[in-house]
Amino acid sequence: MKFWRALIKYFMQGLLYLVPISVTLWVIIYAFNYLDSLVKPYELQYLGFQIPGLGLVILALLIVFIGFLGSSIIFKPLISFIESVINRAPLIKDIYSAIKDLLGAFVGSKKKFNTPVLVTMNETGLKRIGFVTREKMDNMNIPEGYMVVYLPYSYGVMGTVIIVKEEMVENINQSSTDVMKFIVSGGVTEVDQDKN
């Protein structure tokens, strides 16, 4: 009986070590191969042979080049024109603006999710961890003294947006990245004592 318990224990411990490493490596390799495959036909056509990783390097350089062009005075009117065309298409406009806003929340000059907070949910003292996304909501009929907080779910990419009184929100003295990892992991990930 002890033998089987020990065997199951070591099996579970092996899974604990192997699964996160294997899944992480699989995602990295899959993403690398996919991005690298975007350029493979052109490599064979023009070079006659393949160089592993060249597609990824070319894609990264292309993204940097587009970022550089997009910040130049000459290219901005073109981007504005493309966005105005997209904003006229009913369904495409909604998809585009949602993706742009979500991406802008993590990168760019208008980053959100950089103020982690504790929100008191009820009179029993139940608290949830979230991120302030707006301090004020002047363009909606939301009373003075309320703010918008995003509450991500554990083990997923979804969350809830709530409007809450300012006095029910406490700042968390940690980096946004650590707090997001803590939430998404279901509270399992360790958070450093010092704020990064």
Give the pLDDT band (50/70/90) at residue 110. low
Give the pLDDT band (50/70/90) at residue 45. low
CB under 8 Å to 135, separation ≥6 — which residues? 147
Give the pLDDT band (50/70/90) at residue 47. low
Helices and strands in the chain, H and E counts: 6, 5
Q: How confident is the model over 54-81, as pLDDT tens digits?
A: 777 877 888 788 777 777 777 777 777 8
Q: How confident is the model over 116-163, as pLDDT tens digits?
A: 888 988 878 788 888 887 777 666 667 788 888 888 887 666 788 888
Element (H, E) at 165: strand 159-165
Q: What is the pLDDT of residue 4?
A: 78
Task: Please give the model's pTM, rounded to 2 decimal places.
Answer: 0.50
Question: What CA–CA distances, in Å, run from 62 to 39, 80, 131?
Answer: 12, 20, 33
Q: What is the pLDDT of residue 157?
A: 64
Q: What is the pLDDT of residue 58?
A: 79
Element (H, E) at 80: helix 76-86
Of 88 and 20, the one with more pLDDT: 88
CB under 8 Å to 98, separation ≥6 — which residues? none
